[in-house]
Amino acid sequence: MSAAVGADIESLCSKCGDVWHVVVAKVGEEVVKVQCKQCGGYHRHRSVNGAAPAAGKKAESRPRVPRKVRAPIERFATPHVAADLSKPARTYSPRERFDIGERVEHPSFGAGVVEATPEPGKMTVFFAEGRKVLVHDKGVGPTSLTRPPPFDHTKSLNGVGDAPSRVGRPAENAGGAEDGADVADSDEASLDQNA
């Protein structure tokens, strides 16, 4: 006789390792699902003493069929075109033009082979880590952009030496002490009028 739903049962918990559980579900007389009293996790019933499952289950099991052996899958494919070994590998530069089959030495991706030029200014290159789309043939021409000459900061817009010698507030009391006395008298006069 098996335990009823809601009854305590010994079952091995794979989460916390505890053995005390509560029966949650049964199929016929067989306990199928239990809940751990320690961690609260639900799982299939695993007998602690290694009791074999019901005899009905053994009769239903089929013999194992050996799997077909598959060919190993390469992690990275091989290039679609053969490398032209008659020419040396060239260092990658977006300004230079590359042809299909040429070998390219990239500073980040390493050695590669040009596989295709899908559109003007772009090329597909096969590297050991995979295919990359790179720009090429961006040399000086009517459609290419050129870098402007660097700005010379030593020259001002007005000409050399035209910058003011001193920048700031004009000096107070530039006219002497007498001018300062006149300013003070005029300040007192304006205060008397406002009062």
Q: What is the pLDDT of residue 82?
A: 81
Structure confidence at residue 124 (pLDDT): 92
Q: 36 and 48 in contact (C-beta within 8 Å)? A: no
Higher pLDDT, 10 or 141: 10
Question: pLDDT (tens digit, 9 = 90+) per residue, 130-140?
Answer: 889 999 888 75
- Distance of alpha carbon 18 from alpha carbon 119, whole angstroms: 65
CA atoms lying within 13 Å on the CB side of residue 88: 2
Give pLDDT, residue 113. Answer: 92
129 vs 134, residue with greater confidence: 134
113 versus 195: which is more confidently predicted?
A: 113
What confidence tens digit (pLDDT) does each residue in 10-32 have?
887 877 777 778 888 888 888 88
| Residue pLDDT, tens place only, 149-180 | 888 877 765 555 555 555 566 655 555 545 54
CB 95 within 8 A of CB 138: yes
